[in-house]
Amino acid sequence: MMFSISILLLIILIMTAHQFLAINKPMGTDVLVVEGWISDYAFEAAVELFVKGHYKKMLTIVGPEKPSDLKKDASLIGVERAFRILKNFGIEEENVIAIPATYANKHRTLSSALALKDWLNKSEYDIRSLDVITETVHARKSYIIFKKVFSPDIQVGIIAAPTLKYNSKHWFFSLTGIRLVSRNFIGFLYAITVDKCLALWPHAGRSEREIAQSPGLTDRSNPRFYSDSFLLLQKRYCNIIYKLR
């Protein structure tokens, strides 16, 4: 009985995982935010949406994608590609603003959201809502992180660009689909705990080793036993998610 239930739950998970991650929940605003690292065809989908939709401004977050890009002007990286695609669709450059972001080996989505927030705080634009478009199964992660960064001042919508890498309805038959869905599900777990995990990395407060060696973990009568045990579990969870995502 339990085996049958487990199989049923696994099937349900497989059938709904892609739809869950590739969330579409636009706000219907006039500002479209594009994560600059997305593929050309995803960017083209964003531009096509901009042309056919009700958007008046496109904010594309661009910046170094690899260490060698650090020698370049951060405000120019990715802009040439963006304007080339925009030109093919006949969009005027004044309708598009490139938001420079710093290089981030980890926390790329969070860094992009923070770069956009910093730019908006310094700009003359009074934006109350925006839609973010990103790669298909990355949408859930982006949605959560952008909402964490901008809430409650700015409402955030999300759009998952279609993918050409695999059949989204039968992603489980594709190695690429399996890899991306699995990776972005871990990214989703990271997103829902990113604010807590950032405060728990080894450089913030006591490290995992220090907690594990704490006298409180060897003596249940110690007042710190349960708090240190829970903190150690949190640290280990965050470190695992950090390494896997």
Question: Which domains can be identified in the chain, with CATH numbers?
Answer: 22-165 (3.40.50.620), 199-244 (no CATH)
Q: Which residues contact 11 (CB under 8 A, 6 or more apart)?
A: none
DSSP 200: T
pTM of the model: 0.77
Helix or strand holding residue 137 (H, E): none
The answer to whether 26 and 72 are in contact (CB under 8 A) is no
Q: Is the dihedral of CA 11, 13, 14, 18 positive or negative?
A: positive
At residue 23, the 3 state secondary structure works out as coil
Q: Which residue has the higher pLDDT, 85 or 46?
A: 46
Summary mean pLDDT of the chain: 76
Instruction: State yes or no: pLDDT of 44 exceeds 60.
Output: yes
Percent of the chain, pLDDT > 90? 26
Average pLDDT in the 189-207 region? 61
